[in-house]
Amino acid sequence: MELRHIRYFIAVAEEMNFSRAAEKLCIAQPPLSRQIMDLEDELGVKLINRNKHAISLTDEGVLFRQYALQVLDLVDHSTAEVRELKHGLQGMINLGTVEGNAPRLLANWISGFHNKNPHVQYTLWNGNSDDVVQRVMNGLCEVAVIMEPHNGVGLNSIPIYTEKWVAIIPNSHPILKSKSEKITMEQLVDYELIIPSRESRLSEIGEWFVDTSKAPKVRCKVAHVLSAYELVRQELGIAIFPSSVKNIVNSDDVIIKEFEDPSPTVSYILVWNKHKTLSHAASEFIKYIKDQNKEDSFIL
């Protein structure tokens, strides 16, 4: 058995289609089918059920796939580490992030990590927490920063940062007649709101208004804070977003106010898939972040 047999089998098992697997491997389909049959002959078992319309893994195929993935992970990691003995840490880290303070945190970590490991490269994808988690679970991102809450299923996580929620208010809004530095839920409850689009946010923000005996009036749900800011500028409502918006929005068109204590907060966490083997570069990146965050997360 050679490594190519294992790689060919994994490609077929992932695509569940010989034609697509052959295209992915840049080989013709007949040689691919022959290699899989040779592998089955060597093992003395059938790995793949074939018919005219679809293929599927046998029980033996499912078990072999688990071991085959471990073999390939070991080969890839050992190859990378041997090369790194001469050239230093290398590889590509696929990162995911939400808005707020997450991009700043990641930029700081990448900068520090780059100083120690200049040959590592990065890709960075941005979305809301639900989208980012989906990419982590699908293997498209190895490491990501999201906002809580999350259900925790299939993820390893560590807390890294906490900040307050704030209200972004049009500068002509009647709520500003009050000269208080902070704002209350009682003041907000009768006005239309613009909130983050993540599904869990509506119920979370609704809980803040329980003591008012009224439900918040949500005019719009948006994914990006800049969209919320533009809607506020057009006086379509008051936006509720994390306080890091102060680093993005700097305009006389809006006023940003914190909530009276106890002020609601949002927590950021670093996550990665507990069921997938991380690249050596990603593992070292997580270790670096843990070293940088030995103290408890703080609130801004």
pLDDT of residue 19: 87
Largest CA-CA distance found in the chain, in angstroms, rounded: 82
User: What gap in Å lies between CA 3 and CA 68, rounded to an integer?
Assistant: 9
Amino acid at 221: K
137-175 tens-digit pLDDT: 988 899 999 999 887 789 999 999 999 999 999 999 999
Greatest mean pLDDT among 44-58, 242-256, 263-277? 263-277
Chain centre distance of CA 156? 12
User: What gap in Å lies between CA 30 and CA 16, rounded to an integer?
Assistant: 16
Identify whether 242 is preceded by a cis peptide bond (ω within 30 of 0): no
66-113 tens-digit pLDDT: 888 888 878 877 776 676 655 668 889 999 999 989 999 999 999 999
pLDDT of residue 83: 66
Cα Rg of the chain, angstroms: 25
**Cβ atoms within 10 Å, residue 151:** 8
pLDDT of residue 299: 47
- Alpha-carbon separation of residue 287 from 100, 101, 143, 153 (angstroms): 23, 20, 12, 22
Residue 260 gets which letter from DSSP? P
* Nearest partner of 201 among 181, 216, 180, judged by Cα: 216
- Exposed, middle or buried: residue 263 (CB in 10 Å: 0-12, 13-18, 19+)? middle
Q: What are phi and psi of 144, to 5 degrees?
A: -150, 155
State the average pLDDT over residues 235-241: 95
Domains, the chain, ranges and CATH? Answer: 3-85 (1.10.10.10), 89-160+268-292 (3.40.190.10), 162-266 (3.40.190.10)
pTM of the predicted protein model: 0.68
CB 131 within 8 A of CB 245: no
State the average pLDDT over residues 202-210: 92
Any bridge partners for residue 273, and if so which?
155
Query: For the chain, how many residues are written?
Result: 300
Q: Give the chain's mean pLDDT.
A: 89
Question: Would you state the structure tokens that stand for residue 138, as one six-digit string?
Answer: 């699908």
Q: Are strands 143-147 and 91-97 parallel, antiparallel or unpaired?
A: parallel
Angle between helices 102-116 and 280-292 in degrees, nearest 10: 110
258-273 tens-digit pLDDT: 999 888 999 999 999 9
Angle between helices 59-87 and 280-292 in degrees, nearest 10: 70
User: What gap in Å lies between CA 222 and CA 237, rounded to an integer?
Assistant: 12
User: What gap in Å lies between CA 11 and CA 25, rounded to an integer?
Assistant: 8
